[in-house]
Structure formats: C-alpha cells, structure tokens
Copies of this chain bind each other. A is one copy, B any other.
Amino acid sequence: MRITVVGLGPGGKSGITPEARQALEACRVVAGYRGYLEQIPALIRDKEVISTGMTGELERCRLAVERALSGQEVCVVSGGDPGVYGMAGLVCQLAAEHPQLEVRVVPGVTAACAAAAALGAPLSHDFAVISLSDLLTDWDAIRRRVELAAQGDFVLCFYNPGSTRRREHLSRACGYVCKYRPAATPCGVVRDAARPGQNSRVCTLGDLLEAQGNMAETVIVGNSQTRILGGRLVTPRGYLL
C-alpha cells in the first residue's frame, strides 16, 4: 500500500517534472487544495478528487490516507515542493500510525528557487527560508529566527509574507533585519512566481519596511554581498572575476 505526495512546482505545466506527471497519471485518487488542482485540469480528468479549501489540509490528508489504506493508488498534491511548507510532513505524520503504508515523496521546484530565478541569482550563497505565517508558529519564534539569520548574514527568503489579515508581517520582519543590515540592502519581491502574470521587482530593505505582504508573493532579502547587477539581484559566491 502506498501514498504519493507530489510537488507540482510553482505553477503551470512547464514546471512539473516528468516524475510528478507520471505519478499523477498512475493514480486513481487525487487530493489537494482547490487552487492547485485548478492548475492541472487535464492531469486530474477522470480521477476521483478530494478537494477542500486552504485550511482543510488535515481533513484532506486524513481522507487521502484512508483511501490509500483501502488499497487505492492516491496522490496528494502540493504547489512547489511538497516538503517545504507542503503536505509531505502531514502525510508522513498520519502515515506513521500505519506501518504497512509506504510514503513516496516526489519533489518539485520550490518557490524560493522560482522567485530567485525571476530576480537573477540572489540565493547563490547560504540562505535561510522562513515562513512569516503565524497560524502554526508562534510569532516570537519567527522573530527570533529572522534576527539570528540576519546576524548570520544569510540571504533570507520569506514564504507567506502576508495575507489580508496580516499585512504587517513583512514590514515587521524587515524591521528586525534592519537592526543588522542597512536600509539600502538590495531585496526582491516576486508575485506569482513562474505563473502567468508573474511580476518581479527589485527594491531595498527600506522599501519593504513600508510594504504590505501578500500571499501570492515570495520575498528575498539580500545579505551583505548581494547587489544589483544589470538590473538583476545577485549574491556573488566569491569567484574572482
């Protein structure tokens, strides 16, 4: 018995790996957030679909695990990579109670990489990935991580930089970074990375202090080495040119 957690990449068919596509083609049941399933209508045609809204993850994964235990071939889909704030963790937790159930995770292109590609090459040196959503994490833990990563001169990549209910998370987080980096530090914001209508802009840390976070965005804050070269955000790795 097996359940497969599949990463769809950042959006659009051209970012789905053949391995992910084959896993979807081979399954009978697909579970996922509606917004992701709508991106792959051709791939889920003729499948049974377990679909709930954005906060129905637990229910969705429970149902998916039940189906897999009944012997059906089930895929749980996540946008981007399923291991980065995606469904792989939850499925592994639920599956742990069922030793007979094999869990297979098919990785995908995560938003950090898609956003970096749109901006240039800001993640070419060590970086920290932090979600600014406090739905499942205490804000104090988020603050502490942002500060320590800033001290360590990591490039920062913020997932979930805001939503309609928490527009101020991004500016607060950037305020913590400002203790350790100048306001002129180059940064980048990518909306709908690798999707139709993708929008990317290079800006400064100071600009982000005034910005409102948006769920469709990924934000990258440069480190002491990051610069704007030819209009692109780049963190050189140390090659002597």
Q: Which residues of A contact B (CB under 8 A)?
A: 7, 9-10, 13-19, 22, 57-58, 81-86, 88-99, 101, 103, 105-110, 113-114, 116-118, 120-131, 136-137, 141, 144-145, 147-149, 151-154, 194, 229-230, 232, 234-239, 241
Contact = CB atoms under 8 A, between A and B. Distances in A.
B121 A130 contact: no
B241 A121 contact: no
This chain's copy number in the assembly? 2
24 contacts: A81-B109, A81-B117, A83-B123, A84-B113, A88-B116, A89-B125, A90-B124, A93-B234, A99-B230, A103-B120, A103-B232, A110-B113, A125-B131, A126-B129, A126-B137, A126-B145, A128-B129, A129-B129, A137-B238, A141-B153, A144-B152, A144-B153, A145-B152, A145-B154
Given A13-B18, A17-B17, A107-B194, 17 more contacts: A15-B18, A83-B117, A85-B125, A88-B124, A89-B237, A90-B237, A90-B239, A92-B230, A105-B117, A105-B118, A107-B114, A109-B109, A136-B237, A141-B153, A144-B153, A147-B152, A149-B154
Contacts of A145: 126, 152-154
Nearest to A129: B127
B124 A113 contact: no
